[in-house]
Amino acid sequence: MRSLLKLISTEMKVVMREPMSVFFTIAFAPLLMCLFGVIFGNKPMSHHARFGYIDMSAAAYIGMIIATAGLMHLPVTVATYREKGILRRLKITPLSPQAILGAQLVVMLLMTLLGTALLVILGKALFDLRFSGNALSLAAGLILCCMSFFTLGFVLAGLAGSARVAQTASMIIYFPMLFLSGAAIPREIMPKSVRAFSEYLPLTHVITHLRGLWFGEAWGKHLTEVGVLVGMLIIGVLISARTFRWE
């Protein structure tokens, strides 16, 4: 346990020393929220509604943070460690593959929580961000979404032959998903055919589930989203276990 905690601490220090990773994982979504908040404000959209643009978009920006950590950082990091022989050197230590992957997962979860906390703090301070859900329920949903998405990153890392391949594959998946899932552009303004296609994107289910929890909806109203995320988690763990390579 002590070795695992030391590994997590070391990995966290390594990540925090990379300005690009810190910016895009922690700061990019909150800054994007601030930009659109200045443009659109956060007043209730009509006299019937209690929520404004930022309130409605908070879950989408959290989904963006999760996708950035799980797709743009995690697979590249693991693939780079394998390509540079770091995993091979870790192989001779008492740490198991589960511990090594678990350390990466914890670090990405901490990065996601930092980005989410920054987003909420800025949203509340600058735009009076409103939250009408249950904090514990939202936290549980956030962890489920993270775990499900991070396993996708592990799958990409295991299948990629090099860090460059992992980065390319991540970008090919990340950017279309970012724009079609509602993370960057609200799905409500998309054509019906695009909205129908976006139902097949994992990030869409992340945002839909988190938005429901943000506004106080029960988990029972999102059984489809929960089923997709749990399925991703199970399948991702099974594939990651089979594709993990030390070198």
pLDDT in tens, 186-239: 888 888 888 889 899 999 999 999 999 999 999 999 999 999 999 999 998 899
* Average pLDDT score, the chain: 88
Please report which confidence band the pLDDT of residue 57 belongs to, taking 50, 70 and 90 as the band edges: very high
Contact 127, 41 (CB under 8 A): yes
Please report which confidence band the pLDDT of residue 17 belongs to, taking 50, 70 and 90 as the band edges: confident
The structure's pTM equals 0.92
Over residues 160-168, mean pLDDT: 87
Burial class, 203, CB count within 10 angstroms (exposed 0-12 / middle 13-18 / buried 19+): buried
- The C-alpha atoms of residue 99 and residue 110 are separated, in whole angstroms, by 16
Cα-to-chain-centroid distance, residue 181? 13
Q: What is the pLDDT of residue 8?
A: 83
DSSP per residue over the chain, as a string?
Answer: -HHHHHHHHHHHHHHHT-HHHHIIIIIHHHHHHHHHHHHH--S-SSTT-S--HHHHHHHHHHHHHHHIIIIIIHHHHHHHHHHTTHHHHHHTSS--HHHHHHHHHHHHHHHHHHHHHHHHHHHHHHH-----S-HHHHHHHHHHHHHHHHHHHHHHHHH-SSHHHHHHHHHHHHHHHHHHTTSSS-GGGS-HHHHHHHTTSHHHHHHHHHHHHHTT--GGGGHHHHHHHHHHHHHHHHHHHHH----
Does residue 16 surpass a pLDDT of 70?
Answer: yes
Buried b (16+ CB within 10 A) or exposed e, 97-108: eebbbebbbbbb
- The C-alpha atoms of residue 25 and residue 163 are separated, in whole angstroms, by 19
